[in-house]
Structure formats: structure tokens, C-alpha cells
Structure 1
Amino acid sequence: MSIVTQRIRDLVKKAIADNKVMIFSKSYCPYCIGAKDLFDDIHVDYKALELNDHKDGEAIQKALAEMTKQKTVPNIFVNQQHIGGSDALKSAYDSGKLQQILKDAGINAKL
């Protein structure tokens, strides 16, 4: 059982602040792969932190759950705005909301 320390919270907040598109992911998760593929398809750069490959992955996932109330991956942020997971990303894409969020963030997407 890992404990979420302030260091972990700070790591998560810094990753979100330092990257226009931040995806907390697990490399083997099909929903995470789908989310990354969507960003690849629209030519949007992102930073993915693979929690299963990070020594503090479990604690990072717990910190994200505290922050977002979402316990699953992918956990996606655009311009420091929490988008949600795979279903929320797909819904935002389908509705055109993602295009507006990206535009507001100064990110050019090929939609």
C-alpha cells in the first residue's frame, strides 16, 4: 500500500503544468493506447507517463484519484484541464469540444 506524499502530488502537478497534453497511462492498457492513438491521429504532441514503468506509479495513480476522483487510466489533461479517461476523450472529440480545448490551448490539431 503506497502513501501519497507531497512529493508525489508535486510531481503530478508539475507534469500537468509542464505539458500541454499530459496522459497518465499504463503501457499495456488498450484504453490508454487508444487515447494516445487519437492524439497521434490528429498530430498533437503529448507527454505520457507510463505508471506501470514508474517506481512511484501506484502512488501517482492514487494522487490522481484524489485530485480528479478518477481511479482509472488513461487520465488525460489538456492545458491543465482534466478531460477524463478514454470515453470522455472520445466524446469530446466526437462533439468538437476537444478541438475547441486544443484551439484555446494554442495547439494546432489536424482534425
Structure 2
Amino acid sequence: MTEDTQARIDALVKGNDVMLFMKGTPLFPQCGFSSRAIAILDHLGVTYETVDVLQDQGVRQGIKQYSDWPTIPQLYVKGEFVGGSDIMMEMYEAGELQQLLTDQGVAKAG
């Protein structure tokens, strides 16, 4: 794990209101968990950015150390780690994810 990779991850997390590290892209998710995470974000209608960890092994390993979370996808809101797709689903179903996004002032997709 290089400091450059950690700095790059940190810049992505802090530079985007909603940042999802995933396998694949929003149009072509490469795993069911990433697909579910995208479906939740799309349903909520928020603007978000993604990073395809399959395209960058440094980020793929580095994000797990950055968050101390072993799996991908990983969702960050306003620089804070929220969780993976299971946590996103639980929060979404409970209305907590919507509330978090509202509380954080995250913009709706235009």
C-alpha cells in the first residue's frame, strides 16, 4: 500500500459528496452487491461518483485499508464511511439512508 494510493483515495472520498467504490461501472456493475448499491443510489436520485476498483488494484486493496472494511462496494457520504451494500440496504429500508443524505445536504441529481 503506497501513500500515493491512500492520498488518491482520500482525495476521492473528500472531494465528492457521495462516493461509491464498486466493481464495474454504474452501467455495467460486475457484481450483485455493486449492482444493488447503484440501484439504491439511483432510486434515491442523488448525484454520486464511482470508482471501478477492478481497473486499479492499488485502489482495490487500498480502499479496504482506508476504511478498515474488507468488502466492496463501499459508500462514503461527505467524507464519512457509511458501509457496504448490506448496510446500505438496511439503512435504505429503514429510511435512515435517505435521512443521512438529507441531513448532509446531498444534492439530488439534476
Which bin holds the TM-score, normalised by the shorter protein?
0.7 to 0.9
Computed over aligned residues only, the root mean square deviation of the Cα atoms, in angstroms, reads: 1.6
- Percent identity of paired positions between Structure 1 and Structure 2: 25
TM-score, normalised by the number of residues in structure 2: 0.86
What corresponds to 1:75 in structure 2? 74
Distance 2:103 2:73 in 1: 22
Q: Structure 2 regions of 5+ residues with no counterpart?
A: 25-29
Given that 1:61 and 1:71 are in contact with CA atoms closer than 8 Å, whether structure 2 keeps it comes out as no
Alignment pair present for 1:101 and 2:104:
no
Distance 2:57 2:69 in 1: 14
Letter matched to residue 36 of structure 2: G
Alignment pair present for 1:10 and 2:12:
no
> Following TM superposition, where does structure 1 have runs of at least 4 consecutive aligned residues deviating by more than 3 angstroms?
none
Given that 1:62 and 1:71 are in contact with CA atoms closer than 8 Å, whether structure 2 keeps it comes out as no
Letter matched to residue 18 of structure 2: V
What corresponds to 1:50 in structure 2? 52
Letter matched to residue 16 of structure 2: N
Distance 1:66 1:6 in 2: 12
Per-residue deviation at 1:75? 0.8
Letter matched to residue 21 of structure 1: V
- Say which structure, 1 or 2, has more relative contact order (CA 8 Å, 6+ apart): 2
TM-score, normalised by the number of residues in structure 1: 0.85
